[in-house]
Amino acid sequence: MQQSKGPRRPEVTTVEIVGGPERLTVGLHDYDPAWATVFETHRRLIQDALAGARVGSDPLVSEPLVSEPVGIEPVGIGPIGIWHIGSTAVPGLAAKPIVDVVVTVDDITAEEDYLDALLAAGYELRVREPGHRLVRTPERDVHVHVYQRGDRAVTEYLLLRDHLRADAGDRALYESTKRALMAESWADMNAYSEAKTEVILAIKERARRAGGAGTGIGAGLSDRPA
């Protein structure tokens, strides 16, 4: 399998949200250990779906099913990755019952290499925006975020996840922030996600000072995890 030499085509320049804005209708649930099992099920499904697709020059790998913190994996070098991200990946943290998964591919513009396989596996396209694709289950309980290998957003997701796993104070702060926001009515789930940005940035800055990796703002704008 040959290494990609560059983008196969120009990247999209607009944000496409299939189906338009959606009202936030699910509330926070106490942490459920079953979320890790849901991730493992979808990790295997995604791995099987992409194993036969032309997604890059390296073998597929993903993290094992574990409950203890996992160090930030190098992004931009090495194999394609599949990781559990967002609040459902943090034991002890209340979360919306939506399991977020991030997948990296060699070329985000080459949708025929990965998107067709994910749709054939049963996922549905929700978001197409610069640098980011989001597919989800028809039940909307699993979101799969696809980025190009080396995208800083993936490092930021893992930075936040691992810090919240390790730091009880920031974990409690993040949960209290989410509970306060959930007391409001949100006509657009993305607006709820945006409202958490300030506290997320503060937590990530503390994570970097504590020795975590990553710089930059983070993920795409649409249907973000956590």
pLDDT in tens, 33-67: 999 999 999 999 999 999 866 554 444 555 544 33
Rounded to two decimals, the pTM is 0.81
Assign 73 a pLDDT band (cuts: 50, 70, 90): very low
Contact partners, residue 195, CB within 8 Å, separation at least 6: 181
How far apart CA 145 and CA 153 sit, in angstroms, is: 10
The answer to whether 97 and 77 are in contact (CB under 8 A) is no
Instruction: Write the pLDDT tens digit of every residue in 136-163.
Output: 999 999 999 999 999 999 999 999 999 9
Cβ–Cβ contacts within 10 Å for residue 112, how many?
Answer: 11
Mean pLDDT of the region 89-99: 96
Flag whether pLDDT at 77 surpasses 70. no
5 confidence band (pLDDT: 50, 70, 90): low
- Answer yes or no: is pLDDT of 216 > 50: no
Tens-place pLDDT, residues 200-213: 999 999 999 988 65
pLDDT for 72 equals: 34
Q: What is the pLDDT of residue 211?
A: 84
Mind listing the domains of the chain with CATH numbers? Answer: 26-209 (3.30.460.10)
107 pLDDT more than 80? yes
What per-residue confidence (pLDDT) applies to 188?
A: 80
DSSP 89: G
pLDDT for 78 beyond 50: no
Across all residues in the chain, what is the average pLDDT? 83
How many percent of the chain have pLDDT more than 90?
A: 61
Half-sphere exposure of 149 (CA within 13 A, CB side): 24
Q: What is the pLDDT of residue 93?
A: 97
Q: What is the pLDDT of residue 67?
A: 35
Environment class of 66 (CB within 10 Å of its CB; exposed 0-12, middle 13-18, buried 19+) = exposed
Select the more confidently predicted residue: 181 or 218.
181
Would you give the DSSP letter of residue 125?
E
HSE toward the beta carbon, residue 158, CA cutoff 13 A: 23
* Alpha carbon 154 to its chain's center: 7
In angstroms, the CA 175 to CA 194 distance is: 15
Reply yes or no on whether the pLDDT at 103 is more than 50.
yes
Q: What is the pLDDT of residue 87?
A: 96
